[in-house]
Structure 1
Amino acid sequence: MHKIDLRRIDLNLLLLFEVLMQQGSVSKTAEQLGRTQSAVSHALGRLRQQLGDPLLVKVGGRMQPSPYALDLVQEVRPILRSIERVLSPREAFEPHTSDREFRLAVPDLAMGLFPRLISRIQRDAPQVVLQWETPRSQTLLDVAEGQVDAALLPESVKRPEGVAAEVIGQFEWACFMREDHPSLSAWGAASWAAWPHVVVGTGDQMRSPVGSAAQEAGLKRRIGLTVPTFGAVAPLLAHSDMIATLPTLVLADAMQSFGLTARRVPFKVPAMRHVLAWSARLTNDPACLWLRDCLGEVVVGQMGGAAKLLDHLT
């Protein structure tokens, strides 16, 4: 693909492209934007020429996107929303009347976290929309640019310039398994090392605290399965002889539903401090302050419940 000359790209073409991706139709796009079908077709032709890709092709009466178009719209949407926020008149944020869209980067740490968050938000701001994504390598750059409004991350992750953060708490660890797991008859370091473990491949650019702590204790974790999300762990434990060593926050809500039990980790794993991160430019933005208060309240509440579980472990 040839190099794009940004000086020749019309922002209106990207706005039109986003609507086309939503509608899948030139006529519907023209109706929504108040333009003629020929004008929309001409604009799409210009954008195709500029980007060197067909973008959308008519198949069976509907415009079908190319692979490049599917990737492009995911990048374009947050940029357009950021521009809208920057250019919108400055007004006091009123949660109960706002229809603002917020983008959060938070791991799927606990079953109850997002249900509680959405309940908290809908109580005060029923028209607000949330976009939830899991953190990735690009997340902190998106935070710095204001494309992600708030992110929950380990404190140890290096933050680029332009990202502000505050410690929200620390995650303590526990071992989880099904209630009749064979290891429970003689739980200890030998049992922990003997049975296969399920681990979550979060994609963080950091070494697993559990693996490091086990190595220091002279133990080796036998990994039986790696899964992409925390949400996959509970049902796997319920139907296998696997063990999971995770922050108590992750499975505290799921233990009863899946017939799980927990034990203390038989060696010392340092607590993992987490931070709530946001763009330094938005530190005093009323809407973002409100969002961070909501998210912080829910995460701290979840951590409080997990701490009670830890107090009762043997």
Structure 2
Amino acid sequence: MNLKSVDLNLLVAFDALVTERNVTRAADRLGMTQSALSHALRRLRTMFADPLLTRGPHGMEPTDLALELVQPIRGVLSEVHSIMTTRVAFDPATTTRAFNLSMSDAMSIEVLPEIVRRIRDSAPKVDIVVTTAGPRSTCARIVDDEIDLAVGVFPDQPRDVRSCELYRDTLVCVADRRHPRLRRGRMDEASYLACPHVTVAPNLDSGVQIDDILAALGLERRVMATVSHYIAVPGLVRGTDLVAHTRRGLVGLLRDPADLVAFPIPVPVRVPELSFVQMWHRRHDRDPGHRWLRDLVRSAIVGAGGAAAAARGGPTASVGQEAGGGPSRVTARPARRRV
């Protein structure tokens, strides 16, 4: 194949067609007419000597060759995008750029308000879309360029993904302040194990598996209720004999925290800290707009983390830096299903 005859716009059309699997939607996405995109598809089929997309029961289906080409072509387009954006001036005050972020519901409660406030103050025309997904799904979406930046606990990060530690937090137990098994605001191991537990699953904010720690000690707890969001925990714990685990940084942000008491998990081993990072693909390393976003998120979390630490009477969380203006790698423990 003569590279001089390759039109980069055809690769953009290929990516849209494989993603949407519908000519009409792909054309709308690219701002093209259906006839123009159909012509591009014919050129792609000639170029690769393959149908690439065929009609199926649920719309257009990519051929085996098309599936093989998806990631390499997206990689090429991402590299071109990276090269172009490094040469484009970025002015937060005037840019109309949109960013896709990912964080858990708990993180949204804790730090998203401060992030949004700072964006509104410095970049009033910037839009953000915030979604929630598990660590593995988030990593895949970072690689596929569906997410610009993710904040959370992300062990086992794939190649070409960068991360910078933002802060650390610890897990604590939470119970109703009038819980019959509490003694001076704490609970011993026997009482802790005798209580029914609430757990959050999938837990997107923890690389710590309490059940593994207990099993290693020959202990076991009873999980009575499993919920999908941290926001449900206070209502289940309040006025009952249930106990739950949550991050210390969230305790002061839960509804009516005066009704709850937080205390250390009563096991005779040290529970590992949680390392929270911001994560992005290396294609965005030199993107001035993305660097601005990373700096804003980091500074926002300093503000939000400092306020949370002051509220709970603890030290301000340590904040990671991108040494020398570049990213730093973070290692973390493997993610588990529930806490």
Larger deviation, residues 103-112 vs 210-219: 210-219
Residue equivalent to 1:142: 141
Find 1:116's aligned residue among 108, 114, 118: 114
Question: Relative to 1, partners in 2 of residues 1:146 and 1:257: Cα closer, same or farther, differing over 3 Å?
Answer: same
SS of the equivalent of 2:256 reads helix
Q: Kindly indicate whether the alpha-carbon contact (under 8 Å) linking 2:106 and 2:250 is maintained by their aligned counterparts in 1.
A: yes
Find 1:95's aligned residue among 92, 96, 100: 92
1:44-90 deviation per Cα after TM superposition (whole angstroms, max 9, x unaligned):
9xxxx964457999xxxxxxxxxxxxxxxxx9xxx7x9699558663
1:143-168 deviation per Cα after TM superposition (whole angstroms, max 9, x unaligned):
2454322222336x112211122222
Q: Kindly indicate whether the alpha-carbon contact (under 8 Å) linking 2:104 and 2:205 is maintained by their aligned counterparts in 1.
A: no
SS of the equivalent of 1:109 reads helix
Find 2:299's aligned residue among 290, 297, 300: 297
Residue equivalent to 1:283: 285
Q: Kindly indicate whether the alpha-carbon contact (under 8 Å) linking 1:162 and 1:279 is maintained by their aligned counterparts in 2.
A: yes
Measure the CA separation in 2 of the matches of 1:225 and 1:280: 40
Q: Kindly indicate whether the alpha-carbon contact (under 8 Å) linking 1:137 and 1:205 is maintained by their aligned counterparts in 2.
A: no
Residue equivalent to 1:181: 179
Measure the CA separation in 1 of the matches of 2:82 and 2:285: 14
The amino acid across from 2:261 in the alignment is T
Paired residues for 1:243-282 under 5 Å: 243-256=243-256, 259-267=259-267, 268-282=270-284
- TM-score, normalised by the number of residues in structure 2: 0.65
Question: Relative to 1, partners in 2 of residues 1:99 and 1:206: Cα closer, same or farther, differing over 3 Å?
Answer: same
SS of the equivalent of 1:182 reads coil
Measure the CA separation in 1 of the matches of 2:32 and 2:149: 35
Question: Relative to 1, partners in 2 of residues 1:306 and 1:169: Cα closer, same or farther, differing over 3 Å?
Answer: same
Q: Kindly indicate whether the alpha-carbon contact (under 8 Å) linking 1:209 and 1:270 is maintained by their aligned counterparts in 2.
A: no
How far 1:216 sits from its partner (Å)? 4.6
Larger deviation, residues 136-145 vs 112-121: 136-145
How far 1:253 sits from its partner (Å)? 0.8
Paired residues for 1:124-203 under 5 Å: 124-133=122-131, 134-154=133-153, 157-185=155-183, 187-188=186-187, 189-202=189-202
Aligned residues: 282
Measure the CA separation in 1 of the matches of 2:223 and 2:80: 47
Unaligned runs of 5+ in 2: 1-9, 42-50, 60-69, 315-339
Residue equivalent to 2:210: 210
Question: Relative to 1, partners in 2 of residues 1:191 and 1:301: Cα closer, same or farther, differing over 3 Å?
Answer: farther
1:80-118 deviation per Cα after TM superposition (whole angstroms, max 9, x unaligned):
x96995586631111111121212222222424212211
Unaligned runs of 5+ in 1: 1-8, 58-74
Q: Kindly indicate whether the alpha-carbon contact (under 8 Å) linking 1:145 and 1:279 is maintained by their aligned counterparts in 2.
A: no
Q: Kindly indicate whether the alpha-carbon contact (under 8 Å) linking 2:175 and 2:242 is maintained by their aligned counterparts in 1.
A: yes
Measure the CA separation in 2 of the matches of 1:56 and 1:291: 38
Measure the CA separation in 1 of the matches of 2:113 and 2:88: 29
Measure the CA separation in 2 of the matches of 1:239 and 1:14: 54
Measure the CA separation in 2 of the matches of 1:245 and 1:308: 21
1:22-46 deviation per Cα after TM superposition (whole angstroms, max 9, x unaligned):
x99x9xx69x9575x88899999xx
Query: Matched residues, percent identical?
Result: 26
Measure the CA separation in 2 of the matches of 1:34 and 1:130: 25
SS of the equivalent of 1:120 reads helix
The amino acid across from 1:137 in the alignment is R
Measure the CA separation in 1 of the matches of 2:242 and 2:32: 59
SS of the equivalent of 1:142 reads helix
The amino acid across from 2:202 in the alignment is T
